[in-house]
């Protein structure tokens, strides 16, 4: 060891969840290595978008979105002893400038507990970091000693447990999609609202305006969800329907606070919709979801060729104070600000040309929608039952 130099031996974490990396491996164990001296590389950045790691990990300190605790082991020179009176400073730097050290503890062996958290983080809102961190340790005295080391890290602040449909494991590419770039838009923003907005507008999926068929979800009441195909379909303009959107909202919401619960809701009949927007068509107002071309998503109020939803799936969310609201990432979106009754009133057009805001289209037998849906037509379903994680790899071909 060079004079007056301290070496960083390793960085470890006590992970709370199994995370499958992009090569298909799981490294989770107590005191899991995130980085260690002599490691050839842990870089995982084949797409050029994320500076990820082959050793991703998560932490839960009692609050989703809280600080992540790391353990840094330094190799101290034989004549250096750490006590409570030692003049010692640990700092970190990374390119975004948002990651902060929130707490530091150390012992005489050179092992440090360092808690990190981004400046934008808030309780109840998961966060992730992937990138290169430069650590600097200075031990004062005569002589003084220092350490300067760059490490690649990928860490997440997530809940301590996930619903059964995850089968105890979450894939890193799904975390990168939903969590790594997630930022609360305001102090009042919630994870459920963010997830719904992201599912509606971030990933490049488009509503199937031809047939309304699902691509990833098992059916109107839930079932297995083909997550590996969903991940590969990001930004490929793949078609989806309301079952797919309800499924991904329920799956991603589970990464948030465990006190917030979701229920899959299936409603039949649903009805003709008030003018809104469909997923994938932000510039085309819609009151006829099966227009086949974007320009025909909006038709006359009583147009005999107008289409509606024979049924519809969405998500009910119950927050930690027991209030239930609706999440709909297919049409709207609805981000949890409306109760069930308000959602129906704001979304479904009433029957009859004489009704305020009504339509005569319910009398068109060829559409098979004879009346607007009501609260009694909605039922909580079993929802997402299982995830297919098979072969989600950044290194494999990208079929849709």
What would the pLDDT profile of 22-61 be if each residue is shown by its tens digit?
Answer: 988 999 999 999 999 988 888 887 777 889 999 999 999 8
Q: pTM of this prediction? A: 0.92
**What tokens appear for 318 in the block?**
């119950």
Sequence-distant (6+) residues with CB within 8 A of 306 are: 272, 287, 288, 299, 300, 359, 361, 364, 367
For residues 376 and 266, is the Cβ–Cβ distance under 8 A? Answer: no
For residues 155 and 58, is the Cβ–Cβ distance under 8 A? Answer: yes
**What tokens appear for 357 in the block?**
């805001």
For 172, the enclosing helix (H) or strand (E) is helix 172-175
CB atoms within 10 A of CB 199: 27
What is d(CA 54, CA 62) in angstroms, rounded to the nearest whole number? 26
The two most distant CA atoms of the chain are separated, in Å, by 91
**What tokens appear for 242 in the block?**
């309301």
Nearest to 330 by CA among 349, 343, 345: 343
What is d(CA 355, CA 185) in angstroms, rounded to the nearest whole number? 38
Residue 113: pLDDT above 50? yes
Q: For a pLDDT cut of 90, what percent of the chain falls above it?
A: 75
pLDDT tens figures, 311-329: 999 999 998 788 899 999 9
pLDDT tens figures, 137-186: 988 876 778 889 999 999 999 999 999 999 989 999 999 999 999 999 99
Q: In Å, what is the CA distance from 46 to each residue of 22, 42, 49, 54, 395?
A: 10, 12, 8, 11, 8
The highest-confidence range among 70-84, 92-106, 261-275, 317-331, by mean pLDDT, is: 261-275
Residue 399: pLDDT above 50? no
**What tokens appear for 301 in the block?**
């109020």
The whole-number average pLDDT for the span 240-263 is: 97
For residues 172 and 52, is the Cβ–Cβ distance under 8 A? Answer: yes
Nearest to 221 by CA among 246, 253, 196, 200: 246
Residue 3: pLDDT above 70? no
For 113, the enclosing helix (H) or strand (E) is strand 111-118
């Amino acid at each position: 060891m060079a004079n007056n130099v301290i070496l960083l031996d390793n960085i470890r974490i006590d992970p709370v969840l199994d995370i499958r990396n992009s090569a298909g491996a799981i490294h989770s164990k107590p005191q899991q290595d995130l980085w260690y001296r002599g490691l050839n590389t842990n870089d995982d950045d084949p797409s050029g978008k994320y500076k990820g790691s082959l050793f991703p990990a998560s932490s839960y300190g009692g609050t989703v979105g809280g600080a992540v605790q790391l353990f840094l082991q330094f190799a101290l020179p034989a004549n250096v002893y750490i006590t409570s009176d030692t003049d010692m400073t640990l700092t970190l730097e990374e390119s975004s400038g948002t990651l902060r050290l929130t707490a530091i503890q150390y012992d005489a062996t050179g092992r440090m507990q360092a808690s990190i958290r981004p400046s934008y983080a808030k309780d109840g809102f998961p966060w992730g970091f992937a990138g290169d961190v430069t650590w600097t340790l200075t031990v004062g005295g005569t002589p003084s000693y220092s350490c300067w080391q760059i490490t690649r890290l990928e860490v997440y602040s997530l809940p301590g447990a996930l619903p059964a449909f995850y089968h105890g494991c979450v894939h890193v590419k799904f975390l990168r999609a939903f969590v790594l770039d997630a930022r609360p838009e305001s102090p009042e923003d919630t994870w459920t609202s963010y997830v719904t907005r992201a599912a509606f507008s971030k990933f490049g999926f488009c509503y199937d305006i031809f047939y309304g068929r699902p691509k990833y979800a098992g059916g109107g009441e839930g079932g297995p969800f083909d997550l590996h195909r969903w991940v590969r379909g990001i930004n490929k303009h793949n078609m989806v329907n309301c079952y797919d959107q309800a499924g991904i909202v329920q799956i991603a919401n589970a990464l948030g606070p465990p006190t917030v619960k979701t229920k899959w809701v299936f409603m039949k009949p649903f009805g003709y919709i008030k003018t809104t927007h469909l997923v994938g068509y932000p510039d085309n107002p819609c009151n006829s979801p099966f227009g086949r071309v974007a320009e025909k998503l909006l038709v006359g109020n009583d147009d005999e060729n107008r289409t509606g939803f024979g049924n519809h799936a969405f998500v009910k969310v119950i927050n930690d104070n027991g209030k239930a609201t609706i999440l709909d990432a297919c049409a709207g979106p609805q981000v949890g600000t409306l109760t069930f009754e308000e959602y129906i009133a704001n979304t479904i057009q009433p029957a009859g040309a004489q009704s305020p805001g009504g339509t005569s289209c319910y009398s068109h037998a060829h559409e098979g929608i004879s009346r607007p849906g009501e609260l009694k037509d909605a039922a909580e379903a079993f929802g997402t039952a299982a995830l297919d994680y098979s072969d989600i790899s950044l290194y494999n071909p990208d079929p849709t």
